[in-house]
Amino acid sequence: MPWGDHEITTPAQTALDLARVLPFVRAVSAVDQAIWSERPGGPLTTLADIRKLLESSAPSRGDARARRVLDFANPLAANVRESQSRVVVVQLGFPMPLIQVRRTLRSGRLAIADLFFEREDHWCEIDGRGKYLSPEFGADRSSAEIVIDEKNRENEIRREVRGFSRWEALEADNPRRIWDILTGDGMPCSRPRP
């Protein structure tokens, strides 16, 4: 496709190329971002378009890997750390979580889970520090007000679910830490601690 004076690959082709060569967690993150349905302006491409390219192209090294990535990809994944966390929890032996689950709390406030284990009724939040420090999130509130509001929100959610876990975005780089957080919060796992 044209881009200025250059020709570049389409988003679908780029996502497929990355799915064929990147390590699984990075490939899923890349594809999730390409197909993200809530992107301002809409997704860059769709799973259907990427699959169509895969099936219509000559067999290539990495096709099996790409199929695994496409089977795991989800257009609801809001950010790379959410995608990474989803991959990590499944690789650790936890069930596949739902993502971006919306729940209206008893107060009428809408809450959205980053990950949600439906059968276990276990809610997960993955927060970067920007949520508490970035002017984008707190233009009219101090960091303390943001933290207090988030704590009150968490308290409301905890009253409505059986389990609740929270980790910082960077903790997704440490699977053992995620295992400890989830199991410490009562989430059962089919595998032992890594």
Q: Tell me what the pLDDT averaged over the chain comes to.
A: 93
Residue 60: Cβ within 10 Å count? 11
Q: Can you read off the two tokens belonging to residue 117?
A: 């284990």
Q: Can you read off the two tokens belonging to residue 5?
A: 């004076």
Residue 87 pLDDT > 70: yes
The C-alpha R_g of the chain, in whole angstroms, comes to: 19
The mean pLDDT value for 157-182 works out to: 96
94 and 164 together in one domain: yes
Residue 13 inside a domain? The answer is yes
Residue 132 pLDDT > 70: no
Share of the chain above pLDDT 70, in %: 94
Residue 192 inside a domain? The answer is no
Higher pLDDT, 187 or 148: 187
Tell me if the pTM is above 0.75: yes
Residue 29 inside a domain? The answer is yes
Asked if residue 117 lies in contact with residue 100, where contact means CB atoms within 8 angstroms, the answer is: no
Higher pLDDT, 133 or 186: 186
Q: How confident is the model at residue 137 (pLDDT cuts 50, 70, 90)?
A: low
Residue 3 pLDDT > 90: no
Higher pLDDT, 145 or 170: 170
pLDDT at res. 133? 62
84 and 180 together in one domain: yes
**Which domain covers residue 96, as residue numbers?**
80-184
The mean pLDDT value for 44-51 works out to: 98
The last residue of one of the domains, among 72, 91, 113, is 72
The last residue of one of the domains, among 43, 72, 101, is 72
- The tally of domains found in the chain comes to 2
The last residue of one of the domains, among 37, 72, 107, is 72
62 and 85 together in one domain: no
Residue 193 inside a domain? The answer is no
51 and 115 together in one domain: no
122 and 178 together in one domain: yes
d(CA 25, CA 50) in angstroms, rounded, equals 18
Residue 69 pLDDT > 70: yes
Give 88's Cβ-side CA count (13 Å radius).
26
51 and 106 together in one domain: no
92 and 174 together in one domain: yes
63 and 107 together in one domain: no
Of 131, 128, 132, 130, the C-alpha closest to 168 is 128
119 and 171 together in one domain: yes
